[in-house]
Chains A and B, each alone.
Chain A
Amino acid sequence: MKGLHYHYQVPGDDFTRAGEASGAIKAALKKLGFSPQVVRKVAIAMYEGEINLVIHGGGGEIDVDIDGEKVTMVLADHGPGIPDIQKAMEEGWSTAPDNVRSLGFGAGMGLPNMKKYSDEMTVESVVGEGTTVTMVVKLV
């Protein structure tokens, strides 16, 4: 299979649109005939990442590459960065403000869930510069 590439610009000021990119990728993978398990893993992992991009990162960019072996998602923002990545990866750790909680998010489950649903995940972050999360879901 020839490699496919998708690029999305995710606005940081419109929470209602968070998930558009993940929805589009989910539909594309379904159409390409990927197994329901793979489609779901990618959809959940990417959606959690996209929400984080909007609520914590101030928006950013998502690049998705699909080849015969894997789906690679790179989510990059130029937001505040994460001071302690290990802490951020803990279940229940969240700095989400109350308005985010009232929308049903901010339980500190996103990053652990992204780790669970992807086969590989790396988080690179520099305080004051931004965060890049890379996730890989293998096709077999």
Chain B
Amino acid sequence: MTLGEVKTILDAQLLCGEELLDQEVHTACGSDLMSDVLAFVKDQAVLLTGLMNQQVIRTAEMMDILCIIFVRGKEPAPEVVELAKEKDLAIMTTTHRMFTACGLLFQSGLNGGVHIQ
């Protein structure tokens, strides 16, 4: 599906990265622990998280994640959005909680990607 479809499914608000909405994505991951994202994510293009700081953006940058979705209706600080713009990442916010947001995307065909030990 495209990031535009992700946005629709989650009834999400796009904070930056309009130009990425046509990008196709196949896999996603959900985590509040950036240590784990760095250690276990392989080629997931979407990160759902409840954590909000610059290191979420930087972690996404290093892992080639295209889009970060902040769950539970939290609003990131302006400097977090600024950094995402600088790094050409898309940011969305959704009022759904983590489990529901992940479930909705999974149900619509996004999967967790390759499992690595």
CB pair B35–A107 under 8 Å, yes or no, is yes
Instruction: Tell whether, in the assembled complex, residue B51 and residue A22 are in contact, meaning their CB atoms are under 8 Å apart.
Output: no
The 8 Å CB contact of B34, one of A22, A43, A104, is A104
Task: Identify which of residues 88-107 in chain A touch chain B, using a CB-to-CB cut-off of 8 Å.
Answer: 103-107
In the complex the two chains form, what is the Cα distance from A48 to B59 in whole Å?
10
Category for how many chain A residues contact B: 20 to 34
What are the residues of chain B within 8 A of A113 when measuring CB–CB?
A: 38-39
Residue B13 at the chain A interface, CB threshold 8 Å? no
- Bound-state CA distance A18–B38 (Å) is 15
- What is the predominant secondary structure among interface residues of chain B facing chain A? helix
8 Å CB contacts to A: which residues of B38-80?
38-39, 51, 53-56, 58-59, 61-64, 79
Contact B55 A23, beta carbon cutoff 8 Å: no
Find out whether the CB atom of B55 lies under 8 angstroms from the CB atom of A103.
Answer: yes
Q: Which A residues are CB-close (under 8 A) to B32?
A: 104
Complex CA distance for A15 and B56, rounded to whole angstroms: 12
Give B23 Cβ to nearest chain A Cβ, in Å: 16
Q: B58 contacts which of A23, A36, A109, A112 (Cβ < 8 Å)? A: A23
Residues of B within 8 A of A43 (CB): 61-62
Q: Mark A40-51, 1 if CB is under 8 A from B, else 0.
A: 100110011001
Cβ–Cβ < 8 Å partners of B62 in chain A: 19, 22-23, 26, 40, 43-44, 47
Extra A-B contacts (11), CB below 8 Å, given A104-B33, A112-B39: A19-B59, A22-B58, A23-B87, A26-B62, A36-B64, A40-B62, A40-B64, A51-B55, A107-B35, A109-B35, A109-B36
Q: List 13 A-B contacts (CB under 8 A).
A: A16-B54, A16-B55, A19-B61, A19-B62, A23-B87, A44-B63, A103-B51, A104-B59, A105-B33, A108-B35, A109-B35, A109-B38, A113-B39
Query: Which residues of B are interface residues toward A (Cβ below 8 A)?
Result: 32-36, 38-39, 51, 53-56, 58-59, 61-64, 79, 87
